[in-house]
Amino acid sequence: MLGHLYDKQDCSAARALEIVGERWSLLILRDAMFRGHTRYSDFMKTLEIAPNILSKRLSGFVAAGLMVQGEDGAYQLTEKGLAFKPVIMALTAWGDQWVGPGPVEFITKDTRAPVRVELRGDAGEVTDLARVGVKPRD
Protein backbone atom coordinates (compact mmCIF):
# COMPACT_ATOMS: atom_id res chain seq x y z
CA MET A 1 0.00 0.00 0.00
CA LEU A 2 1.09 3.51 -0.67
CA GLY A 3 0.08 4.71 2.73
CA HIS A 4 -0.69 8.37 2.93
CA LEU A 5 1.07 9.71 -0.11
CA TYR A 6 -2.14 11.10 -1.52
CA ASP A 7 -3.45 12.13 1.87
CA LYS A 8 -4.10 15.73 0.98
CA GLN A 9 -6.45 14.68 -1.81
CA ASP A 10 -9.93 14.78 -0.30
CA CYS A 11 -11.14 12.35 -2.89
CA SER A 12 -12.30 8.76 -3.05
CA ALA A 13 -10.14 8.03 -6.08
CA ALA A 14 -7.02 9.13 -4.23
CA ARG A 15 -7.88 7.01 -1.21
CA ALA A 16 -8.52 4.04 -3.46
CA LEU A 17 -5.13 4.52 -5.09
CA GLU A 18 -3.44 4.40 -1.72
CA ILE A 19 -4.54 0.77 -1.61
CA VAL A 20 -4.26 -0.32 -5.23
CA GLY A 21 -2.00 2.30 -6.78
CA GLU A 22 1.30 0.50 -6.67
CA ARG A 23 2.90 -1.31 -9.54
CA TRP A 24 1.46 -4.77 -10.23
CA SER A 25 -1.50 -4.28 -7.87
CA LEU A 26 -4.15 -4.06 -10.57
CA LEU A 27 -2.77 -6.98 -12.54
CA ILE A 28 -2.79 -9.13 -9.42
CA LEU A 29 -6.42 -8.23 -8.84
CA ARG A 30 -7.23 -8.93 -12.48
CA ASP A 31 -5.81 -12.44 -12.17
CA ALA A 32 -7.60 -13.03 -8.89
CA MET A 33 -10.92 -11.85 -10.28
CA PHE A 34 -10.90 -13.11 -13.84
CA ARG A 35 -8.46 -15.99 -13.90
CA GLY A 36 -9.41 -17.51 -10.59
CA HIS A 37 -5.94 -17.35 -9.12
CA THR A 38 -5.72 -17.99 -5.40
CA ARG A 39 -2.20 -19.30 -4.80
CA TYR A 40 1.08 -17.44 -4.63
CA SER A 41 2.38 -19.71 -7.37
CA ASP A 42 -0.61 -18.99 -9.62
CA PHE A 43 0.36 -15.35 -9.75
CA MET A 44 4.04 -16.14 -10.14
CA LYS A 45 3.25 -18.13 -13.27
CA THR A 46 1.27 -15.47 -15.13
CA LEU A 47 2.91 -12.30 -13.81
CA GLU A 48 6.61 -11.88 -14.34
CA ILE A 49 6.92 -10.28 -10.95
CA ALA A 50 9.67 -10.44 -8.38
CA PRO A 51 8.79 -12.84 -5.55
CA ASN A 52 9.36 -10.33 -2.79
CA ILE A 53 7.07 -7.83 -4.50
CA LEU A 54 4.29 -10.37 -4.99
CA SER A 55 4.56 -11.34 -1.36
CA LYS A 56 4.30 -7.70 -0.31
CA ARG A 57 1.29 -7.02 -2.54
CA LEU A 58 -0.68 -10.06 -1.40
CA SER A 59 -0.03 -9.27 2.25
CA GLY A 60 -1.08 -5.70 1.56
CA PHE A 61 -4.36 -6.83 0.04
CA VAL A 62 -5.06 -8.98 3.08
CA ALA A 63 -4.22 -6.07 5.38
CA ALA A 64 -6.50 -3.80 3.38
CA GLY A 65 -9.36 -6.28 3.46
CA LEU A 66 -9.47 -7.04 -0.25
CA MET A 67 -8.41 -10.62 0.31
CA VAL A 68 -8.45 -13.17 3.09
CA GLN A 69 -5.93 -15.94 3.39
CA GLY A 70 -7.35 -19.36 4.17
CA GLU A 71 -5.68 -21.93 6.39
CA ASP A 72 -4.36 -23.64 3.30
CA GLY A 73 -2.70 -20.40 2.29
CA ALA A 74 -5.05 -19.62 -0.58
CA TYR A 75 -5.86 -15.98 -1.19
CA GLN A 76 -9.59 -15.40 -1.63
CA LEU A 77 -11.17 -12.15 -2.68
CA THR A 78 -13.53 -10.59 -0.18
CA GLU A 79 -16.66 -8.66 -1.10
CA LYS A 80 -14.53 -5.53 -0.99
CA GLY A 81 -12.09 -7.08 -3.43
CA LEU A 82 -14.78 -8.38 -5.74
CA ALA A 83 -16.36 -4.95 -5.83
CA PHE A 84 -13.29 -3.76 -7.68
CA LYS A 85 -14.33 -5.63 -10.82
CA PRO A 86 -15.81 -2.64 -12.66
CA VAL A 87 -12.51 -0.79 -12.42
CA ILE A 88 -10.62 -3.62 -14.09
CA MET A 89 -13.36 -3.99 -16.67
CA ALA A 90 -13.35 -0.29 -17.52
CA LEU A 91 -9.57 -0.27 -17.74
CA THR A 92 -9.58 -3.33 -19.98
CA ALA A 93 -12.26 -1.87 -22.21
CA TRP A 94 -10.28 1.33 -22.61
CA GLY A 95 -7.08 -0.51 -23.45
CA ASP A 96 -8.99 -2.70 -25.84
CA GLN A 97 -10.44 0.22 -27.74
CA TRP A 98 -7.61 2.74 -27.60
CA VAL A 99 -4.35 0.89 -27.18
CA GLY A 100 -4.89 -2.36 -28.98
CA PRO A 101 -7.40 -5.18 -29.04
CA GLY A 102 -6.96 -7.99 -26.59
CA PRO A 103 -8.50 -11.40 -26.21
CA VAL A 104 -10.66 -10.41 -23.26
CA GLU A 105 -14.44 -10.22 -23.39
CA PHE A 106 -16.63 -10.13 -20.32
CA ILE A 107 -19.64 -12.42 -20.00
CA THR A 108 -21.94 -13.78 -17.34
CA LYS A 109 -20.71 -17.06 -15.96
CA ASP A 110 -24.12 -18.71 -16.35
CA THR A 111 -25.72 -17.51 -19.57
CA ARG A 112 -22.43 -16.48 -21.20
CA ALA A 113 -24.05 -13.30 -22.44
CA PRO A 114 -21.77 -10.29 -22.92
CA VAL A 115 -21.48 -7.72 -20.14
CA ARG A 116 -20.04 -4.23 -20.45
CA VAL A 117 -19.33 -1.22 -18.26
CA GLU A 118 -21.74 1.59 -19.02
CA LEU A 119 -22.62 5.04 -17.70
CA ARG A 120 -26.28 5.15 -16.73
CA GLY A 121 -28.62 7.58 -15.05
CA ASP A 122 -31.24 6.96 -12.40
CA ALA A 123 -33.83 5.92 -14.97
CA GLY A 124 -31.35 3.57 -16.57
CA GLU A 125 -30.65 5.77 -19.56
CA VAL A 126 -27.25 5.56 -21.20
CA THR A 127 -25.25 8.74 -20.77
CA ASP A 128 -22.61 9.98 -23.16
CA LEU A 129 -19.09 10.38 -21.85
CA ALA A 130 -18.79 14.01 -22.78
CA ARG A 131 -21.88 14.93 -20.79
CA VAL A 132 -20.64 13.60 -17.48
CA GLY A 133 -19.12 15.85 -14.84
CA VAL A 134 -18.94 16.04 -11.07
CA LYS A 135 -21.48 17.62 -8.81
CA PRO A 136 -20.00 20.83 -7.42
CA ARG A 137 -19.39 20.83 -3.71
CA ASP A 138 -21.71 22.91 -1.62
Partner DNA sequence: CCGTATCCATTCCGATACTG
Partner DNA sequence: CAGTATCGGAATGGATACGG
The residue ranges that bind DNA (CB under 7 A) are 2-3, 5, 22-24, 39-41, 48-53, 55-56, 58-59, 73-74
Q: Is 109 in the site for a second copy (CB under 8 A)?
A: yes
Cβ within 8 Å of residue 53, ≥6 positions away: 23, 24
Q: Which of a second copy, DNA, none binds 71 (CB below 5-8 Å, type-dependent)?
A: none
Question: Do 102 and 96 meet the contact criterion of CB atoms below 8 Å apart?
Answer: yes
Q: What phi, psi does 119 have (nearest 5°)?
A: -95, 120
Q: Rule CB under 8 A: is residue 99 a binding residue for a second copy?
A: yes
Residue from the set 13, 41, 52, 71 that interacts with a second copy by CB under 8 A: 13
The stretch among 37-45, 52-60, 67-75, 122-130 that binds a second copy (CB under 8 A) is: 122-130
Report what 39 binds from DNA, a second copy, none; CB cut-off 5-8 Å by kind: DNA
- CA dist., res. 64 & res. 58, Å (int): 10
**Minimum CB–partner distance for residue 94 and a second copy (Å):** 6
| Dihedral (CA of 91, 94, 99, 37) sign | positive
Residue 107 touching a second copy (CB under 8 A): yes
Query: Judged by CB under 8 A, does residue 4 bind a second copy?
Result: no
Residue 23 backbone zone (phi > 0: left; psi -120 to 50: alpha; other: beta) = beta
Residues of this chain, 53-72, that bind a second copy according to CB under 8 A: none
CA-CA distance, 56 to 63, in Å (whole number)?
A: 10
